[in-house]
């Protein structure tokens, strides 16, 4: 009896391994990645990107010598140009009937890279964001980001200038550093919200549940910020210039430890900063 059990177990193991290897080999072809490269001319006033919301796509907007669209992943990309406007659409190539992913050949994330020349000052709109979007060393005019509200997203802006930024989502991490945001509104219900060494002009920052932290901020910022349940923390990299503070904690407290402020003001106060909390504190260093 023991002998039959051992022989059966060996046969089962061999068949299982063979079937698994066959499945992986078939799916390696089935889940083959698509690679796409599309060069474009620099005369583009508006770029619209529509992503599929059933799979995460990492989108990178970066500076380069030539305008181009690059994609790597399991979807197809359709790029069309009409006059000075470009449209990029992520398309499904086949229905994905798998649930949990146990196959090493199946990607969970796609990657879309948009390269924009330095001299181009285009408008950008991205819809159905369900992954990470990262701006690297670009100068854009108006940027509108429309996430898939069911997905947790991540917005990163590094060494960039955006004249107007519009972004809103339920759960999202926001990280902006060494940049200039010269107008707009960034709103999340919860998530990390960190800015560092950044110039803000006429911008509204909203994080209902978590902290808003601004480190080494530039001295001539002008913005509003609000957090219902957590703190707002600001410190400057150098002495602020012509700033007037309007602090409005409802049940929280205000703490101003920056010695340059006298009666909530420095200089003529033309750069107004309005901060609102419900339960959280406001800290200015």
Distance of CA 9 to the CA centre of its chain: 51
Structure tokens at 234: 């600001």
Structure tokens at 271: 């750069």
- Whether 20 has a pLDDT exceeding 90, the answer reads no
- Whether 281 has a pLDDT exceeding 50, the answer reads yes
State the pLDDT at residue 62. Answer: 94
- Whether 85 has a pLDDT exceeding 60, the answer reads yes
Q: How many residues does the chain have?
A: 285
More confidently predicted of 248 and 99:
248
Distance of CA 263 to the CA centre of its chain: 37
Please give the C-alpha separations between residue 131 and each of 39, 46, 60, 152, in angstroms, as whole numbers: 24, 22, 11, 7
Per-residue confidence at 210, pLDDT binned at 50, 70, 90? Answer: very high
Residues 6+ apart with CB under 8 A from 20: none
More confidently predicted of 92 and 27:
92
Q: What Rg do the C-alpha atoms of the chain give, in angstroms?
A: 25
- Residue 101 parent element (H or E): none
Per-residue confidence at 175, pLDDT binned at 50, 70, 90? Answer: very high
State the pLDDT at residue 12. Answer: 54
Q: Which residues pair with 222 in a beta bridge?
A: 201
Give this prediction's pTM.
Answer: 0.83
Q: Could you identify the residue written with the tokens 């474009």?
A: 40
| pLDDT, averaged across the chain | 84
State the pLDDT at residue 2. Answer: 55
Per-residue confidence at 24, pLDDT binned at 50, 70, 90? Answer: very low
More confidently predicted of 211 and 90:
211
CA–CA gap between residue 8 and residue 14 (Å, rounded): 10
More confidently predicted of 5 and 57:
57
Residues 6+ apart with CB under 8 A from 120: 42, 44, 67, 139
CA–CA gap between residue 164 and residue 181 (Å, rounded): 7
């Amino acid at each position: 009896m023991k002998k039959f059990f051992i022989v059966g177990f060996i046969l089962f193991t061999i068949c299982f391994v063979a079937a698994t290897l066959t499945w992986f080999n078939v799916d390696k072809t089935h889940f083959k990645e698509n690679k796409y490269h599309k060069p474009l001319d620099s005369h583009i006033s508006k770029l619209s990107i529509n992503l599929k919301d059933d799979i995460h796509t990492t989108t990178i907007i970066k500076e380069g010598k030539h305008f181009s669209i690059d994609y790597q992943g399991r979807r197809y990309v359709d790029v069309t140009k009409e006059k000075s406007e470009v449209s990029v659409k992520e398309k499904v190539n086949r229905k994905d009937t798998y649930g949990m992913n146990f196959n090493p050949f199946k990607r969970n994330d796609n990657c879309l890279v948009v390269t924009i020349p330095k001299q181009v000052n285009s408008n950008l709109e991205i819809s159905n964001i369900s992954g990470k979007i990262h701006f690297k060393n670009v100068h854009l005019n108006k940027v509108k980001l429309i996430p898939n509200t069911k997905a947790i997203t991540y917005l990163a802006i590094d060494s960039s200038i955006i004249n107007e930024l519009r972004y809103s989502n339920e759960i999202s991490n926001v990280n902006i550093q060494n940049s200039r945001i010269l107008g707009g509104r960034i709103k999340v219900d919860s998530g990390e919200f960190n800015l560092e060494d950044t110039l803000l002009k006429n911008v509204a920052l909203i994080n209902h549940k978590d902290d808003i932290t601004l480190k080494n901020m530039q001295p001539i910022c002008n913005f509003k910020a609000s957090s219902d349940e957590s703190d707002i923390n600001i410190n400057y990299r150098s002495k602020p210039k012509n700033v007037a503070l309007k602090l409005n904690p409802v049940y929280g407290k205000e703490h101003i430890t920056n010695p340059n402020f006298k009666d909530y003001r420095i200089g003529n106060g033309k750069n107004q900063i309005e901060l609102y909390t419900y339960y959280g504190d406001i800290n200015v260093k």
